[in-house]
């Protein structure tokens, strides 16, 4: 990862008022997640499990997004999420990772230092959101 370039950041909101009302930050997560899933990608986001512990899980279906909506404001267990993300990127699948800014930065560093296909930048398929 190089820091000599201007960072790329985008802002927006979901056009669907119902989604915006169910969301904590304008519903952009849902729009990004739907796009990634339509491209046969995966979404990795934080949910509260049955013990009310925050954990990152992988979603491959629209039905799984609802539990990921809303800000959690707690540190979550990544379990093996980052390892799975590396696997999806190696398989040339798009990945949306949603987490805190430091979690996003850590994942980007891991991807940059992983032994991935040198013919293309593997982080081109990685989108992060916080």
93: containing domain:
17-129
Residue at 86 is within a domain:
yes
∠ Cα 36 40 44 (to 5°): 55
Task: Give how many domains the chain has, as a whole number.
Answer: 1
Which ranges of 23-100 does DSSP label H, i.e. alpha helix? 28-38, 81-90
Residue at 9 is within a domain:
no
Q: Which pLDDT band, with edges at 50, 70 and 90, does 119 fall under?
A: low
Return the percentage of the chain with pLDDT > 90, whole number: 51
Confidence (pLDDT) at 91: 92
Confidence (pLDDT) at 19: 84
**Looking at residues 63-84, what average pLDDT do you find?**
89
Which distant-in-sequence residues (6+ apart) come within 8 Å of 76 by Cβ?
46, 54, 55, 56, 99, 103
96 within 8 A of 36, measured Cβ to Cβ: yes
Residue at 2 is within a domain:
no
Prediction pTM value: 0.84
Residue at 10 is within a domain:
no
Residue at 38 is within a domain:
yes
Residue at 3 is within a domain:
no
**Looking at residues 121-126, what average pLDDT do you find?**
76
Neighbours of 54 (CB within 10 A): 14
Confidence (pLDDT) at 27: 81
Residue at 11 is within a domain:
no
């Amino acid at each position: 990862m190089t820091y000599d370039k201007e960072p790329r950041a985008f802002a927006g909101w979901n056009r669907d008022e119902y989604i915006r009302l169910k969301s904590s930050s304008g519903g952009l997560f849902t729009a990004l997640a739907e796009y990634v899933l339509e491209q046969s990608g995966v979404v990795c986001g934080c949910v509260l499990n049955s013990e009310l512990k925050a954990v990152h899980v992988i979603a491959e279906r629209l039905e799984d997004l609802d539990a990921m909506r809303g800000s959690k404001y707690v540190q979550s267990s990544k379990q093996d999420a980052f390892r799975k993300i590396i696997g999806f990127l190696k398989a040339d699948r798009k990945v949306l990772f949603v987490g805190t800014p430091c979690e996003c930065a850590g994942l980007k560093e891991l991807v940059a230092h992983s032994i991935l296909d040198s013919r293309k930048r593997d982080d081109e398929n990685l989108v992060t959101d916080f």
